[in-house]
């Protein structure tokens, strides 16, 4: 939420790494403020074998930076 409502310009870079026809998520790269907190939650999903479709089907919490990961196209 810090990135969404701050008056300062901040940047956060994210990349979801998927493989195969089923687009299984095998990695997640993030850089920016607060990424350490976000990664912990997404690590659980990846450990459980999440796919890109699972991420797409997740309702995003708005306004947050983490919503970008479940709305990536």
Q: Which residues are catalytic?
A: 62
Question: How far is residue 71 CA from its own chain's centroid?
Answer: 8
Which sign does the torsion angle of CA 17, 42, 45, 64 carry?
negative
Contacts of residue 1, defined as CB under 8 A and 6 or more positions apart, other chains included, come to: 63, 64, 65
**In 1-73, at which residue ranges do the beta strands (DSSP E only) sit?**
13-19, 24-31
């Amino acid at each position: 939420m810090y990135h969404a409502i701050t008056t300062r310009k901040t940047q956060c870079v994210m990349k979801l790494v998927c493989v195969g026809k089923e687009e299984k998520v095998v990695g997640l790269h993030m850089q920016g403020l607060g990424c350490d907190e976000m990664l912990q939650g997404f690590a659980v999903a990846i450990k459980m074998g999440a796919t890109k479709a699972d991420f797409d089907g997740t309702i995003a919490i708005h306004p947050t930076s983490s919503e970008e990961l479940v709305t990536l196209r």
